[in-house]
Structure 1
Amino acid sequence: MRGDDAAIYREIQKNAEMGIKAIETLTPKLSDDAFALQLSRQELKYSELRDKARQEMLEGRGETYQANGVSDLMLKGSIQANTLLNTSTSHIAEIMIKEENRGLTSMWKALNHFGNAGNASTELARELMDFEEESIEKLKKYL
């Protein structure tokens, strides 16, 4: 597997993993059932995309993404601090939109930096980005 492809797949795994962790951290704070269902669907899609990227890495004998405990702790701590005084649906939707925008930015940076990546990794990255853009649109109605 080429280095650029491996880097794109690792970024997809990282991005999806961060989305999953954010949703897992926010789920206990949810009070709106429709919103909880929306986030559960997003978590499932993130899992599918992460698993696709992981499978491609394993088939190409590349090294998969390993979560960093510090970044996980920072994400969870940030979410806990952000929801300490406000657990409204609107506020949680805003947090998720910000997280997904961060994910989109990191994917764009990866695609621009690793320009020699092949079609398969680039297509999966674009699938993740399209999903995040759609998710943001769906979350806007909860603001």
Structure 2
Amino acid sequence: MTGNIELLNYIHQNSEMGQDAINQLIPIVEDDTFKQNLESQFNEYKKIYNKAKTKIQEMDKDAKGINPLSKASSYMMINLKTLLNKSPSHISEMLIQGSTMGTVDITKKLQEYNDADKEILDLGNQLLQFEQRNIEELKRFLH
């Protein structure tokens, strides 16, 4: 039971971080095709986030959000990294790095909590596959 909540909270936080980062990047992106890609990613993160949050609430627990310090740090890092270069290639590279870290982390979590409820494992695998798709889709914007 504890593992279920821990895995769900990880999925919840990961998808929240993805939403926050993309939400911060969309206004500075000028390329329409790239912006559509980011909006699509945002919507998928939101779906996963909402599913995790709902499942946590169904278990009569509170969803743990991202630590405010981590959130502020991420916000500042994105601002710094896009200050001089707002190109789709540069932003794609940043997002690929983030999704790669997310892929590694969710893979570890799925192995650590491999006895979690099937529905929760399925949501974790949905997040993993989504992160992997993001990496592949973003590669086309690199140059």
Quickly name the TM-score band, shorter chain normalised. Answer: over 0.9
Q: Which amino acid aligns with 1:98?
A: Q
1:25-75 per-residue CA deviation (whole Å, 9 max, x = no partner) reads 111220100100010011001000010011111111122122211011111
Q: Greater RCO between the two (CA within 8 Å, min separation 6)? A: 1
Residue type of the partner of 1:8? L
Query: Normalized against structure 2, the TM-score is what?
Result: 0.95
Q: Tell me which amino acid in the other structure corresponds to 1:75.
A: S
Q: Deviation of residue 119 (structure 1)?
A: 0.8
Who is 1:105 aligned against? 104
Counterpart of 2:48 in structure 1 is 49
* 1:73-118 Cα deviation digits (max 9, x unpaired): 1111111111111111100011111111111122122222223212
Written as runs of structure 1 = structure 2, the 5 A alignment for 1:1-143 is 2-143=1-142
Q: CA RMSD in A?
A: 1.0
SS of the equivalent of 1:117 reads coil
Number of residue pairs the alignment of both structures matches: 142
Give the residue type in structure 2 aligned to 1:9.
L
Cα distance in 1 between the residues matched to 2:62 and 2:100: 26
Q: Which runs of 4+ in 1 moved over 6 A?
A: none
CA distance in 2, matches of 1:51, 1:104: 19
Q: CA separation in 2, counterparts of 1:58 and 1:90?
A: 39
Structure 1 contact 15–103 (Cα < 8 Å) conserved: yes
Give TM-score, length-normalised by structure 1: 0.95
What is the aligned-residue identity percentage? 31
1:11, CA displacement in angstroms? 0.6
Query: Retained in 2: the 8 A contact 1:4–1:115?
Result: no
